[in-house]
Chain A
Amino acid sequence: MPRTTVYEAVTQRLEILDLEGQVDAELMPELDPNRIIEFYRNMVLMRAFDNKALKLQRQGRMGTWPPIQGQEAIQVATAMAMEDSDWLIPAFREQAVMVLRGVPAHTIYAYWAGDERGSAFPDGVRCFPIAVPVGSQWQHGAGVGLSLKLRGEQAAAVVFGGDGSTSEGDFHEGLNAAGVFKTNTVFVIQNNQWAISVPLSKQTASQTLAQKAHAYGVPGIQVDGNDIFAVHVAVTEALERARTGGGPTLIEAETYRLGDHTTADDASRYRSEEEVEQWREKDPIPRLRKYLEANGLWDEERETALENEAREWVDTQVEALEAMPPQPLEAIFEYMYDEMPPHLAEQMAALKAEVEA
């Protein structure tokens, strides 16, 4: 009775664009130059959107905000690879994906500013609400993927989460169920190295997060998440697999949270400035700009024009946020049930009487 190897696995990592803006010609996907410029434009717009929120927060015009700085490549590439028929199931640091999928930027500002209307996404945008509890949304990715599969839709559910959320049971239950039912799901981990103050090394003894896919019979891949071409390739492959009955994929996109966990956090308490600086050199935006410049697709003039466009666009979003009239008190009672039950109507009437007295 020999002792034999019953399972062996290999986890791949994909990198295409280096820090100097050079690409691996063999791995570089075919992309229209205008699309590459659009990658860049969207990353710049999303960073401006994020920076503005941080400024608003410091001025008391915004509530707690989870910055996305450094993670734009994952979000822009994924959003741009998705079709309208695909579903997005975000965690809470996917603002850029949401905006690019059709949730108005000022709506997302409104949510984090504490306005109920920030949860009112436009009809037809296939997007779940922001999921704050950490990890529970992985299960919805499996469920929506199963839903699409059962209905025979050629569409995918794309669910996001962070490195910390892979320690939650729901991550494993979700991947397991997705594997069993071969759901139309793409699981995207934004591995930004830190779950508030806890580094990845304390989150798991696994060498990678991508390898966890093997345990569930699901393909997994690690990509340089600050390399927008690598993310594009991995996400496009995974979406194609999901939409055509090939089942789910786990993508670990390695990146770094250049900012604090949220505006309520002070990351200098738990990580060194040297570490942040090292990652700042891998920032996805300058990397792609170097590529564009080296290929004659970009210059200082276009950069200035884009900066102006970003500023104006963000200002428009802030104006839209601040033009919203006050919410009626009904906003806290509405949408609890299909029909408001009598006891809730009584409570609402009592509050109304109190406020109007």
Chain B
Amino acid sequence: MSGQKQRLTIAQAVRDAMRDEMRLDPTILVLGEDVGIDGGVFRATDGLIEEFGPERVIDTPLAESGIIGLSVGLAATGFRPVAEMQFMGFVYPAINQLFSHAARMRNRTRGRLTTPMVVRMPYGGGIHPPEHHSESYESLFLNTPGFKVVVPSNPYDAKGLLISAMRSNDPVLFMEPKRIYRAFREEVPDEAYTVPLGLASIAHTGDDVSLIAWGSMTRVCHDAAEVLAVQGISAEVVDLRSLNPLDRDTFIGSVMKTGRAVVVHEAPKTNGFGAEIVAQINEHALMHLEAPVQRVCGFDVVFPLAHLEKLYLPNRDRVVAAAKKTMEF
């Protein structure tokens, strides 16, 4: 099998990451709503129960706080649970367990007990679902110390980052961009491999303006970079991949090179993580800037129902316009 590759979607890469790591590490358990026989509502756990059985792939009662509470108990006593929140919009009932316990166990036991667990959460809009199925709540978790927060944007990273997350000794929130779960395929190695947490990638090299994003917005920035290239503007796309730990050197280095930046995220603009990125650019690269940093984000509203969600979501043209604004300053 070594050296073999397959063309996989993000959803398949996520499934393969769990399958491969479960083969290597018997302490890994998968638990959540519908993760067993149904294979997950997005099929991200498809086939796992057949291979590993119901003791390792556990359909839980429908209770998000319970899923995380069980995971805290399991993780602190020797297992590595991979818990699924069916949609990030449903994570609220689990917040107390996540904030008050999962993120603190190491600290509150002075390192004696830890909670090495992964919480997988499909996030973001663009799939025309009912209410509460489209949210991007990363900034909630990024202002709560004790977690790692990881967001892949492509199948290769999805598998490698998820394997790193499962091997991490810290609790990791793994946000999966459901809008592009099946949008495209990429070559993904059959065997287990890692993409390190805390390392951004330059997804597209450029000289004039840095487009900084994560998850599904990385794709939007790619599209924008293509349009900008036609117009003679060379855009660099920085895919942060990991929001905590944050690879400051990479995005600051990019901004120092280009002198211009646009930060793009789906979550509401005000107090979103983009504000933190802008603040760090100000702290570390202010004198390199040729123009104020722009943000292209969601609006500060309840995520709209399906008909109007297209208006809410940051798109290629908005990113292009923001990049040009930095060029024309």
B-binding residues in A (CB < 8 A): 87, 89, 116-117, 119-121, 123, 128-131, 133, 136, 138-148, 150-151, 157, 169-170, 173-174, 176-177, 180-181, 334-338, 341-343
Contacts and interface: CB of A to CB of B under 8 A. Distances in A.
Interface stretch (B37-45, B75-83, B259-267, B294-302): B75-83
B245 A342 contact: yes
Given A142-B73, A343-B248, A173 B66 contact: yes
Interface string B73-99: 110111100000000000001001100
Contact of A139 (B73, B106, B170, B246): B73
Nearest to A151: B78
B105 interface: yes
Nearest to B108: A129
Contact of A174 (B69, B146, B148): B69
A140 B58 CA distance: 17
Nearest to B93: A169
B245 A136 contact: no
Given A136-B101, A169-B93, A343-B248, A334 B111 contact: yes
B60 interface: yes
A341 B65 CA distance: 28
A139 B107 contact: no
Interface of B: 29, 55, 58, 60-61, 63, 65-66, 68-74, 76-79, 93, 96-97, 100-101, 105-114, 145-146, 148, 168-170, 198, 244-246, 248
Contact of A341 (B66, B76, B109, B198): B198
Contacts, number: 131
Contacts of A336: 106-107, 145-146
B79 A136 contact: no
A120 B110 contact: yes
Nearest to B107: A335
Contacts of B246: 343
A185 to B, nearest CB: 9
Nearest to B78: A147
A143 B198 CA distance: 30
For the complex of A and B, 10 pairs with smallest distance between CB atoms: A143-B73, A139-B69, A173-B66, A120-B110, A338-B169, A143-B70, A129-B108, A144-B73, A140-B73, A147-B77
A120 B76 contact: no
Nearest to B73: A143
A186 B144 CA distance: 32
Contacts of A150: 29, 55, 79
B321 to A, nearest CB: 32
A163 B80 CA distance: 32
A179 B101 CA distance: 23
Contacts of A148: 77
